Structure 1
Amino acid sequence: MKEIIECYKVDTITLQRNDGFWLSEGRLILRSINVGELVEDRYQSPFAEARFSLSEEDTLSMMLLLDADEDSFAYRLKQHFDGAAVLDRFKRFCDDNKLKYQYQFITG
């Protein structure tokens, strides 16, 4: 799995959060990785990750919808989804455009 663009980052004493898009075998993956005291208090785990994955077909559809090619895909993702609400924007965009995502919430 390869990170292609970071969209949001928080680095405080109680929370470290890093949201970014990754590519794995032609599939687009949005990962929100969270560690810190706030995560430990809420999930009783030092680590939590929310992960949204698109199929290869829906990844290509996302590229078309964002008017992107392989070279501009990372730029278009950041342009469209950058900021603290990246997860909500991504879900809304997928729902509005009939793109199916698989959701996982991982602690450990």
Structure 2
Amino acid sequence: MDDNQGFFERVYEVCRHIPEGRVTSYGAIAKYLGAARSARMVGWAMNSSKNLEDVPAHRVVNRNGMLTGKSHFGGSDAMQQLLEEEGVPVKSLQVQDFEKFFWDPMKELP
């Protein structure tokens, strides 16, 4: 297993803990994993997770709550629909009340 694959698996494990109706950011996951400057690599992991049904990649957004990964969900509004079905309000491709719905792995995971 190469280093990227190991990192990706660690990212997926964090993502599996994001509760329904909550979102986190690429940077928050990277920080939790001790790689605070690797938010972009977390994004690559999310892009590579599309065939993993147990990884809720739609719950990972950028630091401002923007749905930057939306193009990886088969349709332009699929990511938004998934979030809205879970009760997360989205307007103009941005999570509304981002702070209210933000899940911080640093606070929530051991």
Could you say whether these structures have the same fold, taking a TM-score greater than 0.5 normalized by the shorter chain as the test? no
Bigger Rg, which one:
1
More strand by share: 1
TM-score, normalised relative to structure 2: 0.28
TM-score, normalised relative to structure 1: 0.28
